Amino acid sequence: MLNKNQVRGLIIYPLGDLIAQLILGEVNFYRTGIFAIVGCFIYSFEIGKWFGYLEKKIKNPFLKNWLSGVVF
């Protein structure tokens, strides 16, 4: 079973690359699948630490609520 950070990595990491591919006009679903696997099993370890760090550093309540709504 995947934990919450792995699901986030499965979605966030390849989505960012897919947006870049759409901007360039060269969509490769094999590449997107690889990014999803990497996001799920490697990038997911960074997610909790990075967003925990951001939560501690951001003092503006509006920005904190906006970021939590976009990411989570």
pTM score of the predicted model = 0.67
Name the domain count of the chain.
Answer: 1
H-helix segments, the chain: 4-24, 29-38, 44-57, 61-71
Q: What is the pLDDT of residue 72?
A: 52
Whole-number Å distance between alpha carbons of 28 and 43: 20
Domain that holds residue 43: 4-71
Condensed to tens digits (0 to 9), the pLDDT of residues 5-37 reads 888 889 988 999 999 999 999 999 999 999 999
The answer to whether the CB of 17 falls within 8 A of the CB of 31 is yes
Taking Cα atoms as reference points, which of 70, 67, 47, 69 lies closest to residue 59? 67
Q: Any idea what DSSP says for residue 41?
A: I
